[in-house]
């Protein structure tokens, strides 16, 4: 027969496994983002980012973006058209 403490220890072990799996999944997602293929491209470059509006102040940051294309259907005539999308995933090496 299990005791309350043994059950608590089992629960804590399972929570640790979940944390470990979450960390692994995050790393795999990041690795996937950095891959470029015909569906998605990763590009990184310096961009000037507006910091203050008055007076205008800019700071150069290393921006990493992923680019992909999505197909949309025009509801009026059924025509399919493609839109290029992008999303910032890293700024100065830090994941967003």
Percent of the chain with pLDDT over 70: 100
- In this structure, the answer to whether residues 15 and 40 fall within a common structural domain is no
Enumerate the β-bridge partners of residue 7.
Answer: none
Map tokens 């997602």 to a residue: 29
CB atoms < 10 A from the CB of 44, how many? 13
- In this structure, the answer to whether residues 25 and 72 fall within a common structural domain is no
The segment with the largest mean pLDDT, out of 18-22, 55-59, 78-82, 91-95, is 18-22
- In this structure, the answer to whether residues 58 and 20 fall within a common structural domain is no
Tokens of 32: 């996937």
> Does residue 47 contact residue 61 with C-beta atoms inside 8 Å?
yes
- In this structure, the answer to whether residues 42 and 24 fall within a common structural domain is no
pTM of the model: 0.71
Strand bridging mode 40-52 / 57-73: antiparallel
- In this structure, the answer to whether residues 43 and 78 fall within a common structural domain is yes
- In this structure, the answer to whether residues 41 and 6 fall within a common structural domain is no
């Amino acid at each position: 027969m299990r005791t309350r403490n043994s059950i608590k220890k089992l629960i804590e072990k399972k929570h640790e496994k979940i944390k470990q799996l979450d960390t692994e999944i995050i790393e795999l997602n990041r690795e996937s983002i950095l891959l470029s293929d015909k569906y998605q491209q990763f590009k990184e470059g310096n961009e000037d980012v507006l910091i203050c509006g008055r007076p205008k102040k800019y700071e150069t940051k290393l921006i990493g973006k992923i680019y992909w294309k999505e197909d949309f259907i025009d509801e009026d005539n059924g025509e399919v058209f493609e839109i290029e999308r992008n999303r910032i995933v890293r700024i100065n090496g830090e994941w967003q």
